[in-house]
Structures are given as C-alpha cells and as structure tokens.
Structure 1
Amino acid sequence: MTYRLYLSTNTYALTVQALMEDMGLDHELVWVDIFQDTPDEDLLKVSPHSRVPALNADGTVLFETGAIALWLAEQHGDGDYLIPPGDPRRGIFLQWFHYLATTLQPDVMMQFHPESYAADDATQARLREAAFGRLDKVFRTLDDALADGPWFFGDTITVLDFLLGMQATWPEIYPETIHAYPNLTRHQQALLERPSVQRVFGIHRETMRGNGEELVLAMEPAGW
C-alpha cells in the first residue's frame, strides 16, 4: 500500500509520522504550509479544514490524528499498538483515547492559537491563563494514569502513547515544565529512546533549520 502523509513541521502530524516510522511503514512526506493566507489546494482535497495530518492510502483519504492512528494500528499493528475488542482493558483504552482528544487537546490548542477563540489580546491572555489551570489538572490526571508505566498499559505500548507523547513534547503547554509530572517525564523519556521517534524529530529539526527556525522540545533525545 502506498501512503502519502500531509504534514507541517512540529504539528500534530508528528504523531502519525512517528507511529508509521515505528511500524516500519513506507510512506511519502508531503510538506504543506498550513499558515499561509490562502489554503493549500492539494491539502484541501484531503483535509477540509486545511489541517494536518492527513493521509492518502491508495485513494482512501483520512484526516484527524486519532482516527488515522487507530486505523493504522488496526491495519498494520498485528495485535500491537492497541487494546482490541474483547480485552477487559478495552474500555480503559477507549477512555484515554477520547480523553486525549477532547480534554487535553483543546487546551493545548488554546496555548498556540487563542486567536481562534477571541480577537483581542487581553481576552486571549485570559483564555490562555485559564487553560493553563485546566492543563495542570489534566497533566496530573495523566501522571496518575502512567503510574505503572512507562506506558499507559505498563510495558505495552499503544497508539495512546504516541497520541500523548508527541504533543507532550511541546514546552509551551506546561504551566511550569514537564518535570513537574514525574510519570509523564518517564513516559516522554521512554518515547524519546525509540529510534523511530528520534528519526522523526531529526527530520523536523533539519527541515525547520532549513527554514531558519529551531525545534525546541520539552525534553530532548540523547545526543542532541
């Protein structure tokens, strides 16, 4: 199967790219600028809101990070990367899958794009500050969930760990630093030790440097 992954540097596309690398799936990277005034026409064909990631799999077009990640795990995981139906842990898997999308992600987005919620700077600042308060509780909740880690399910890595870990790398989302949450810190360190994740961050770092930008992470892979 031929995969074309639409992505921009240091965005939620990191999650799908890292998962595909970890699975050893061949894929083509299609870099797009999601911040230009006029939406990219090719991206709009696969992502109606001009967001990344989007995936074209031999004509099957998918968008939304969680949907792509879950679909890839079902197609190629060979029983890995997810907790299957019938497993008594399936309910907990689904709980955290949706928690990451509906409780964590909205307040992460508030830190980067408050202008999507309010026009004036003062209101944007208040929204971001309120989101920081909620994020602290979210990270403490996730820290408790990772107590038996390093992963959500102990030694079994699933798509949950990519969905959390690849956005937990952004230092801007923490009220203080990631180190305020020891189990989350352990989780991030374990993810950064995976060669697949190191390759992905290396690609983004070099691409950003080519654009005169620098990739800044909450924690860095060894050797950076």
Structure 2
Amino acid sequence: MPDYTLYCAPDTYAMGAHAVLEEAGADYAVHWVHLFSDNPDPDFLAASPHCRTPALKGPDGTVFETGAVALYVAEGHPKAGLVIPPGDPRRGTFLQWFHYLASTLQPDVIIQYHPEFYHSEPDRQAALKAASMQRLKGVYQTLERALEGGPFFFGSQPTVPDYILALQTVWDVIFPEGDITAYPNISRHRAAICARPAVQRIRAAHEAEYTRRRQAPASK
C-alpha cells in the first residue's frame, strides 16, 4: 500500500503538488476525482472539506491546499532538496515566494477561469476578468524580476515555489493576450521545470486522464 494518496483532478492547480510528490520520489497513488460534483467522493470530501484539489492522505492524516501538500511532502523528503531549510539565510525569501504565489497570483488566476464564483451576471464577470488581468500584469512583472538570475527562484536548484509557479504558467490563457513570451524569464522558468522528467511524467498522466474523460461515453 502506498504511503500517500493524492486526490487530484486533471490539468488543475493540483499539478504543482503532484510534481513535488514525483520529484521527491515519494511512494504515492493518484485518486482521480471530479470537481463540482453533486455527489463528491466521500474519501475526497473527508480529506478536503471544500472539495478542492489537491488533497493528500498520508501516514499523519490528511492535508489539503496545494502549498500545504507540496511543503509537507518536500519537508518529509529532505534529500530531494526542494526546500530552503530553517537557518539558511534564504529561508525568508523562500517563504516570501511560497506565500506570494498562493495569496497574490493564484486568486487572480482563478478569476480568469471561474469569474462565476464571484458574479452571476456576464457583464460583471467580464469586468472582473479584465480587472484581474490588470493585476496579473503587475504580478508577472514582479516574478519576471525575481527570476532574472534563474532559471529558478534560487538559481539552478528548483524548490517548491518553482513547481507551484510553473504548473500554473503552462496555461497561456492566464497571460495578457494569451502569450507568455512577453515575459522571457517566466518563459525560461516554465521551460526549465517542464523539461524535468518528473514533471513530464505527471503532465502525461494528467493529459491521459483528461483525454479519458473527454472520450468517455456520457452517463444517462
């Protein structure tokens, strides 16, 4: 029996945590779930009270939220080198970017996909997305400067924030005009993370599950 079970939906924010599990060499299984279901998987619901992915079941119980899952796994597998540890002078910067991605980048990314979470009227949804994209431009400028020495936040060694960032920037729709190339450092960062074998494996798994769902016959 694997040490961990990752509750995951394909091609979602959960890919960042999934990549950390794979990169860390953790013993895990993926339990694919459906989001926005009227009848959520009871085990998934027990692990994630808002039915959002990812959630993780492990030897210490359950953990939900991408950042929490990724950091929990990375700290449990220190040999993978995915964390700047306490005592390292870079620790504060590590925590800064870790929380920045969750509290500043991710909320506006969600708005680009799900403005209906906030407004039911189409015109207000469009206005919200436009305002969100304006905020995202400032976020990308900040990240572009942070990655100047790259390819990763801390030079040549990727850490948890790199996976959390790159597995969002794979979605071109979150950039102005749907084009990442206006941000060469972020583009280089994405390419470097996506070239890693562990990331290629998890992206292939997500694509396979996404394709399987698209091809599955509709239930009656």
| Corresponding residue number in structure 2 for 1:168 | 169
Q: Which residue of 2 aligns with 1:57?
A: 58
Q: Quick one: percent identity of the two aligned structures? A: 48
Is this contact kept in 2: 1:6–1:30, CA < 8 A? yes
Alignment correspondent of 1:146: 147
The residue type paired with residue 187 of structure 2 is T
Does the aligned pair in 2 maintain the 1:143–1:183 contact within 8 Å? Answer: yes
| Bigger relative contact order, structure 1 or 2 (CA pairs below 8 A, ≥6 apart) | 2
Q: Which runs of 5+ in 2 are unaligned?
A: 216-220
SS state at 2:31 partner: strand
Aligned to 1:212: 214
- Code of the residue aligned with 1:178 in structure 2: it is I
Offset from partner CA, 1:75-99 (integer Å, 9 cap, x none) = 1022711111111111111111111
Q: CA deviation at 1:59?
A: 5.0
User: Which residue number corresponds to residue 181 of structure 1?
Assistant: 183
> Which blocks of at least 5 consecutive residues in structure 1 are unaligned?
214-224
Is the 8 Å Cα contact of residues 34 and 40 (structure 1) preserved in structure 2? no
CA distance in 1, matches of 2:213, 2:65: 26
Matched, 1:201 2:207: no
Could you tell me the TM-score, scaled by structure 2's length? 0.93
Question: Which structure has the highest helix share of the two?
Answer: 2
Asked whether the equivalents of residues 118 and 124 of structure 1 are also in contact (C-alpha less than 8 Å), the reply is: yes
Question: Does the alignment pair 1:7 with 2:26?
Answer: no
How much is the aligned-residue C-alpha RMSD, in angstroms?
A: 1.3
Partner of 1:129 in structure 2?
Answer: 130
Counterpart contact for 1:2–1:58, Cα < 8 Å:
yes
Residue 151 of structure 1 aligns with an amino acid whose one-letter code is F
- Structure-1-length-normalised TM-score: 0.91
2:51 maps to a residue whose letter is S
Separation of aligned partners in 2, 1:189 and 1:59: 34
The answer on whether the counterparts of 2:24 and 2:80 sit within 8 Å (CA) in structure 1 is no
> Partners in 2 of 1:44 and 1:59 — Cα distance?
17
Q: Does structure 1 retain, via aligned residues, the 8 Å contact 2:23–2:80?
A: no
Deviates more, 1:54-63 or 1:138-147: 54-63
Q: For 1:189, give the aligned amino acid.
A: A
User: Alignment partner of 1:162: what SS?
Assistant: helix
- Which residue matches 2:47? 46
- Residue of structure 2 in register with 1:74 after alignment: 75
Secondary structure of the corresponding residue to residue 124 of structure 1: helix
User: Match of 1:10, SS?
Assistant: coil
AA partner of residue 190 (structure 2): Q
User: Number of paired residues?
Assistant: 213
CA distance in 1, matches of 2:168, 2:78: 22
1:136–1:175: 8 Å Cα contact kept in structure 2? Answer: yes
